[in-house]
């Protein structure tokens, strides 16, 4: 029997209208706060103003850093950490999708030290400012896990890191905030949840706890991903996708991700205008085929829970039907395209394959089937 340790200290507040609690939650940690957010969405929807107002009404001094771009860079993080130090803030609130939330964690670490954030990839951090996440997408799971992903804009490298001090103290998951996601963002982030479930459920590091999170996340996702995409105002679907995102985020906190993420990070690292979930979508089918033999039983189980009819299909045929089903979902979400359609240049594939190993080695190691750099290049070429 496998031995393991699991730990997740994030206090989760879930529910429509939960944003209103932000003042009393934040006040427990500090009355001098930095909000970290993106450049557009939270301003346009009025959520940022609402949050600032709620915090100020609780007597909190608020500074806003709204320079985080999708697939955030280490430069932005260092810039915001400098502001956090200058203002001597005692709490970082991340407001937005995975990009601002990941940045908030990295800023919380960098603000405590005196080295550029990139150096924390090699230098373990033991201390960070407290972090609160207020999530606006249903995708990365960053709201409840310790991971942060950042890009080196000079090289395109996009590794993830996550130390114990980077767990958010508290997470506010208010589905109303996610309801403004446009269809493309809903589709891409929702497919990210699917891949988290899939990779945590099939990866070598899986265990009973991560699988339990995966199963409930899967049940919520299978009935609500396409619904949230095609009926943006359906608050039941939005709420269930927000739950699925958090559950899958807890699953990857335990068991990590594998090959699709290992390949996708260098894709969106080198092409920051590619959405993480859209990158995963173009890599999913080839990766699933590659791994089929290594985790056939898991595929069969997921196919069964999807409600796919077994009839007289062999194990291989039934496992393959999961890949067909995934293709249907991608088509329904308008994400069933090729790497070249996303603007990736063919002569970059070699660099992407190399970086998958150099920056995402832990995800390669977690893949159910062994794969080398040549194998990864082949998957990228087949997805091109
Ligand atoms: O940039 P702003 O103006 O905020 O707009 C964003 C952005 O354009 C917009 N958006 C977000 N919430 C919205 C909204 N628009 C309208 N209404 C809302 N409610 O959507 C766009 C994408 O946002 P972003 O935060 O970049 O997306 P996502 O949540 O997919 O996060 C992606 C980042 O998270 C990392 C990815 O690599 C990528 O850098 N990941 C983090 C993980 C983790 N911490 O565990 C795991 C994941 O596998 C992933 O790697
Ligand atoms: Mn992901």
Same structural domain, 215 and 353:
yes
169, two tokens: 């103290």
Q: Quick one: which atom of ligand 1 is closest to the CA of 196?
A: 48
Give the residue from 143, 178, 213 where a domain finishes: 178
Answer whether residue 2 is part of any domain.
Answer: no
Q: Report pLDDT for 205.
A: 97
Answer whether residue 243 is part of any domain.
Answer: yes
Q: Quick one: which atom of ligand 1 is closest to the CA of 145?
A: 45
Same structural domain, 265 and 373:
yes
Whether pLDDT at 1 is above 90: no
Mean pLDDT calculated for residue range 359-370: 98
Answer whether residue 141 is part of any domain.
Answer: yes
Same structural domain, 61 and 121:
yes
Provide the CATH number for the domain around residue 301.
1.20.1090.10
Q: Report how far residue 368's alpha carbon sits from residue 376's, in angstroms, rounded to the nearest whole number.
A: 14
From atom 34 of ligand 1, which residue's Cα is the shortest distance away?
98
Provide the CATH number for the domain around residue 25.
3.40.50.1970
Is residue 40 within 6 Å of ligand 1 at its C-beta? yes
Q: Encode pLDDT of 39-90 as tens digits.
A: 999 999 999 999 999 999 999 999 999 999 999 999 999 999 999 999 999 9
Quickly state the pLDDT bin for 279 (edges 50, 70, 90): very high
Measured at the alpha carbon of residue 14, what is the angle toward residues 189 and 136, in degrees to the nearest 5?
30
Q: Report pLDDT for 109.
A: 98
Q: Report pLDDT for 54.
A: 98
% of the chain residues with pLDDT over 70:
100
Q: Report pLDDT for 189.
A: 99
Q: Are 34 and 82 in contact (CB under 8 A)?
A: no
Residue 99 CA to ligand 1 centre (angstroms): 5
- Probe residue for ligand 1, chosen from 74, 77, 97, 190 as the CB with the greatest number of ligand atoms within 8 Å: 97
Same structural domain, 151 and 199:
no
Average pLDDT over all residues of the chain: 98
Query: If we measure between CA atoms, which residue out of 185, 182, 171 comes closest to residue 250?
Result: 171
Whether pLDDT at 290 is above 90: yes
From atom 16 of ligand 1, which residue's Cα is the shortest distance away?
181
Taking each helix axis as running N to C, give the angle between helix 259-270 and helix 183-202, from 0 to 180 degrees, rounded to the nearest 10: 140
Query: If we measure between CA atoms, which residue out of 200, 197, 246 comes closest to residue 222?
Result: 197
Whether pLDDT at 2 is above 90: no
In the block, tokens 């995708």 appear at 139
Is residue 178 within 6 Å of ligand 1 at its C-beta? yes
Residues 6+ apart with CB under 8 A from 280: 191, 192, 195, 260, 261, 264
Q: Report how far residue 242's alpha carbon sits from residue 174's, in angstroms, rounded to the nearest whole number.
A: 8
Measured at the alpha carbon of residue 239, what is the angle toward residues 299 and 106, in degrees to the nearest 5?
80
Q: Encode pLDDT of 215-252 as tens digits.
A: 999 999 999 999 999 999 999 999 999 999 999 999 99
- Probe residue for ligand 1, chosen from 10, 69, 98, 235 as the CB with the greatest number of ligand atoms within 8 Å: 98
Q: Are 164 and 13 in contact (CB under 8 A)?
A: no
Q: Report pLDDT for 292.
A: 98
Q: Report pLDDT for 361.
A: 97
Is residue 142 within 6 Å of ligand 1 at its C-beta? yes
Question: In the chain, how many domains are there?
Answer: 2
Q: Quick one: which atom of ligand 1 is closest to the CA of 178?
A: 19
Q: Encode pLDDT of 127-144 as tens digits.
A: 999 999 999 999 999 999
Domain that holds residue 121: 11-178
Is residue 239 within 6 Å of ligand 1 at its C-beta? no
From atom 25 of ligand 1, which residue's Cα is the shortest distance away?
97
Q: Report pLDDT for 12.
A: 99
Same structural domain, 145 and 219:
no
Same structural domain, 114 and 228:
no
Mean pLDDT calculated for residue range 14-28: 98
Beta strands at 160-161 and 148-149: parallel, antiparallel or unpaired: antiparallel
Entry pTM: 0.98
Same structural domain, 218 and 365:
yes
Q: Quick one: which atom of ligand 1 is closest to the CA of 151?
A: 39
Q: Quick one: which atom of ligand 1 is closest to the CA of 162?
A: 44
Residue 102 CA to ligand 2 centre (angstroms): 12
Q: Report how far residue 335's alpha carbon sits from residue 148's, in angstroms, rounded to the nearest whole number.
A: 25
Is residue 168 within 6 Å of ligand 1 at its C-beta? no
Long-range contacts of 20-25 (CB under 8 A, 24+ apart): 20/54, 21/172, 22/51, 22/54, 22/55, 22/93, 22/132, 22/134, 22/172, 23/54, 23/55, 23/57, 23/58, 23/60, 24/58, 25/132, 25/170, 25/172
From atom 1 of ligand 1, which residue's Cα is the shortest distance away?
38
Give the residue from 152, 178, 204 where a domain finishes: 178
Same structural domain, 165 and 243:
no
């Amino acid at each position: 029997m496998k031995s393991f340790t699991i730990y997740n200290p994030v206090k989760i507040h879930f529910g429509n209208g939960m944003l209103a609690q932000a003042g009393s939650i934040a006040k427990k940690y500090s009355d001098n706060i930095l909000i970290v957010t993106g450049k557009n969405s939270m301003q346009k929807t009025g959520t940022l103003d609402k949050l600032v107002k709620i915090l100020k009404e609780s007597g909190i001094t608020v500074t806003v850093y709204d320079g985080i771009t999708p697939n955030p860079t280490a430069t932005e993080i260092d810039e915001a950490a400098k502001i956090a130090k200058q203002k001597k803030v005692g709490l970082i609130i991340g407001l937005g999708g995975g990009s601002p939330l990941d940045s908030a964690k990295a800023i919380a670490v960098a603000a405590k030290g005196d080295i550029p954030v990139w150096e924390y990839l090699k230098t373990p951090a033991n201390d960070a400012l407290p972090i609160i996440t207020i999530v606006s997408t249903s995708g990365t799971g960053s709201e409840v896990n310790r991971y942060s992903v950042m890009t080196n804009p000079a090289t395109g490298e996009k590794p993830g890191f996550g130390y114990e001090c980077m767990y958010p103290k508290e997470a506010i998951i208010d589905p109303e905030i996610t309801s403004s996601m446009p269809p493309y963002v809903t589709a891409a982030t929702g497919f990210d949840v699917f891949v988290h479930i899939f990779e945590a459920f099939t990866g070598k590091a899986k265990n009973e706890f991560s699988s339990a999170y995966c199963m409930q996340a899967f049940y919520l996702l299978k009935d609500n991903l396409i619904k949230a995409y095609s009926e943006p105002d359906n608050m039941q679907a939005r709420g269930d996708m927000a739950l699925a995102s958090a559950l899958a985020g807890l699953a990857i906190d335990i068991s990590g991700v594998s090959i699709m993420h290992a390949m996708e990070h260098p894709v969106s690292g080198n092409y920051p205008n590619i959405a993480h979930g859209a990158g995963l979508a173009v890599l999913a089918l080839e990766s699933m085929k590659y791994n089929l033999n290594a985790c056939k039983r898991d595929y069969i189980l997921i196919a069964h829970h999807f409600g796919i009819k077994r009839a007289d299909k062999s194990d291989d045929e039934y496992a393959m039907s999961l890949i067909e089903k995934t293709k249907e979902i991608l088509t329904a979400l308008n994400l069933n395209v090729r790497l070249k359609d996303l603007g990736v240049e063919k002569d970059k594939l070699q660099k992407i394959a190399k970086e998958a190993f150099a920056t995402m080695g832990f995800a390669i190691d977690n893949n159910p089937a062994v794969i080398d750099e040549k194998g990864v290049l082949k998957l990228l070429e087949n997805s091109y």
